[in-house]
Amino acid sequence: MELLVDVTAEADGRLTGTVRAPGSADAVAFSGRLEFLASVERLSSTANLQGDDDDE
């Protein structure tokens, strides 16, 4: 599975940005490390439900 991540470290150390699957216009925004991990998990779960097996 491949994900595109656009991340910025804010002055206070917080990570902000977006995560999306290649070729998709639907980006999941995040603010903070836990939201980043949740975004990756959400997109990974969606891809697995759709039968994406690119990681093999």
Which range of residues forms the domain containing residue 30? 4-49
pLDDT in the model for residue 46 = 78
| pTM of the model as a whole | 0.73
Q: Please check whether residue 54 lies inside any domain of the structure.
A: no
From CA 18, how far away is CA 1, in angstroms rounded?
17
pLDDT tens digits for 37-54?
999 999 888 777 666 555
Rounded to whole angstroms, what are the CA distances from 6 to 10, 19, 40, 49, 53?
Answer: 13, 6, 12, 24, 23
Domains held by the chain: number: 1
pLDDT in the model for residue 52 = 53
Closest among 31, 7, 28 to 19, alpha carbons compared: 28
Residue 56 has pLDDT above 70, yes or no: no
Which helix (H) or strand (E) segment is 33 a member of?
Answer: helix 33-49
Q: Please check whether residue 9 lies inside any domain of the structure.
A: yes
pLDDT tens digits for 11-41?
999 999 999 999 988 999 999 999 999 999 9
